[in-house]
Amino acid sequence: MPFETAFTMDTSSIKYGPGVTREVGADVRALGAHRVMVLTDPNLAGSDPVAITRDALRAEGIDAVLYDRVRIEPTDASFKEAIAFATEGGFDGYVAVGGGSVIDTAKAANLYATFPADFLAYVNPPIGEGQPVPGRLKPLVAIPTTAGTGSETTGVAIFDCNLGARSLRQVADAGEHPAVRRGGDRHDDEELHAKTGIAHRALRPVMGIVDPNNTRTLPRMVAACSGLDVLSHALESYTALPFDQRPAPEHPKLRPAYQGANPISDIWATRAIEILAANMLVALDDPSHDEARGQMMLAAAFAGIGFGNAGVHLPHGMSYPVSGMARDFVPDGYPTDHAIIPHGMSVILHAPAVFRFTAPANPARHLRAAQLLGADVAGAGPDDAGAVLSSAVVQMMRDTGMPNGLSAVGFTPHDVDALVKGTLPQHRVTKLSPRPAGEADLRQLFLDSMTIW
C-alpha cells in the first residue's frame, strides 16, 4: 500500500481582539448573508456576547433569529432539533456564540439544512456512512466563549449518539466496515451511548471571532477543563502518527481532515503548548487578567489549527465512551440538569497513561513537548520521555484541580470492558496513535487511568 506524500493546511480566517464581537454584523454582511440563525445554549442566552452579537447584526440590517436550545455535550437528538429549526428557517448564514457544543451544533445545522440527507449519511464510520459533504455550505461565523475546543477553526462536529445496547456491540465488532447501521432496540433498559462526529473540511466556519471579553465570566472549572482540552489538542497533534506513515487516499477528496503530524501543524501545536504553559494558571487564578485570558484564547485557536489538520489520537478516542457513560458526576460550574464529565476533563484523564505508552514511538517529540510545557529535561534520555511528559501533564492537572483519575468520576475496573468497546469504533482518531493500540493495550490504558497520582 503506498504511503501518503501530501498534506494540506486548512483553517478559518481568525479575527482577534478585545471587543471584536461588535464587528460581527459587518462581517456577516460582507459574507452576503441577510437572514442568519444565531445559535447559543440556554446558559448563554441572556449573556453579553449574545446580546452584543444580536445588536451588531441588527445594526447592519441582518435578520437574526435566535436559537438558544443547544445542549452542552450535544446528542443526536439535540443536533436533529437544531437541524429542523435550520431547515424550516430558510437561513443564508449562521452565527454560533458559545463553546464547542454550540459551534459543533451550528456546523451540523448548516450541513443538513444545506444538503439534506439521512442523519447517518455524513456521520463518521463505522457508526455512520462517512459520506463526503457534497459542496460548499452557507457561511458560518463562530464566536467562542470558552478558550477550549478550537472548534472555530476545525471541520469537526462531535456529539453523543444513542445506539442502544445491541448495536454498539455490532459497531465495535464490525471494525471499520462502513455499512453498519443503527439497529439497536431503543427500549433496552441499558441503552449505550458513543461519542462520534462528523468531520469534513466543508464544515469549518469561514471565520472565528476570538474576543477575550467573551471569556471574562467563565466559571473556574469550565475554564480549567477547556484549557486542558487545548493542552491535549496540542500534545496529541504534535505526537500523532506522521502524515507520511498513513496510507495514501485513493482520491484526493478522500484525504482525511485529520492527516497526522505534519510540519505546518507542528508550528501551531508547539506554540500553543508554550502559550499555555505561561498563561493557564495565571488566567485561572485571576479571571480579571485580560492579557492571560486573551493568550488562552489564542492558544485554543492555535491548537485548533494544529489538530484541525493533524488530528488527535488516544486521549480523545478514549474520552468519548467516558463522557458518554457519565452517570452522576457533575463538576462545579456546570449545569446540574444532567450528569457530565466535561470533554476536556475526560480527555486529560487519559493523557498521562497514553503518553507513557506512546513515547517509545518518538521519544524526542515527547521530550520536546515536556520541555515546552516547562519540564526540566536536562539529562533525560529516550527511555525517560514518557515519564517526563506524563509528570508535566499530571502537574498541570493537579494545579488546575482535576479529579484523580477515572475512579474519581464514578468508574471502576468493572467498566473497562464497556469503555474499550466504546473506544474501538473511534478509528478516525485512534488510528493516529503513533503506536498502534489494540484491545489489550486500551484495557491497560484505562486501568492505568483509574488512579493517576
**For Zn ion, the closer CB: 146 or 213:** 146
DSSP-derived letter for residue 174 is T
Cβ proximity to Zn ion, 142 vs 377, nearer residue: 142
Residue type, 37: M
Smallest separation (angstroms) from Zn ion to the CB of 50: 24
Closer CB to Zn ion, 180 or 198, in the complex: 198
The residue among 24, 34, 98 whose CA lies nearest residue 64 is 34
| Helix, strand, coil share (%) of the chain residues, nearest 5 | 50, 10, 40
C-alpha to C-alpha distance for 117 and 133, rounded to whole angstroms? 10
β-strand pairing of 93-98 with 35-39: parallel
Cβ proximity to Zn ion, 50 vs 224, nearer residue: 224
> What's the min distance (Å) between Cβ of 165 and Zn ion?
27
On whether the CB atoms of residues 76 and 104 are closer than 8 A, the answer is: no
Q: In whole angstroms, how close is the CB of 151 to Zn ion at the nearest point?
A: 9
Type of residue at 356: R
> Which residue, 53 or 426, has its beta carbon nearer to Zn ion?
426
Do strands 63-67 and 35-39 pair parallel, antiparallel, or not at all (unpaired)? parallel
Q: Residue 154: how many CA atoms within 13 Å on its side-chain side?
A: 35
Interface residues with Zn ion (CB under 5 A) are 229
State the minimum distance, in angstroms, from the CB of residue 100 to Zn ion: 7
Give whichever of 235 and 385 is closer to Zn ion, judged by the CB atom. 235
Rounded CA gap, 113 and 350, in Å?
36
One-letter amino acid of 247: P
Name the residue nearer to Zn ion (CB basis): 56 or 241. 241
Radius of gyration of the chain (CA): 20
CA dihedral for 211, 217, 220, 225, sign (positive or negative): negative
C-alpha 79/C-alpha 86 separation (Å) is 10
Kind and range of the H or E run holding 194:
strand 193-199
343-361 exposure pattern, b = at least 16 Cβ within 10 A, e = fewer: bbbbbbbbbbbbbbbbbeb
211 or 229: whose CB is closer to Zn ion? 229
CA dihedral over 160, 448, 228, 400, signed as positive or negative: positive
**Smallest gap from residue 307 Cβ to Zn ion (A):** 8
Beta bridge partners of 16: 210
Taking the complex as a whole, the smallest distance from the CB of residue 158 to Zn ion amounts, in Å, to 8
What is the DSSP secondary structure assignment for residue 70, as one 8-state letter? P
CA angle centred on 247, ends 237 and 309, rounded to 5°: 30
40 vs 346, beta carbon nearer Zn ion = 346
Angstrom distance (rounded) from CA 15 to CA 37: 20
* Residue nearest Zn ion, Cβ-based: 229
The residue among 243 and 307 lying less far from Zn ion, judged by its C-beta, is 307
Q: How far is the CB of 232 from Zn ion (least distance, A)?
A: 6
What are the φ/ψ torsions at residue 33 (nearest 5 degrees)? -90, 145
How far apart are CB 430 and Zn ion at their closest, in Å?
14
The C-alpha cell 491497560 sits at 444
Please report how close the Cβ of residue 316 comes to Zn ion at its closest, in angstroms. 6
Tell me whether the omega of the peptide bond preceding residue 126 falls within 30 degrees of 0, making it cis.
Answer: yes
Measured from the CB atom, the residue of 152 and 229 that comes closer to Zn ion is 229
C-beta of 54: minimal distance to Zn ion in Å?
28
* Rounded least distance, CB 319 to Zn ion, Å: 8
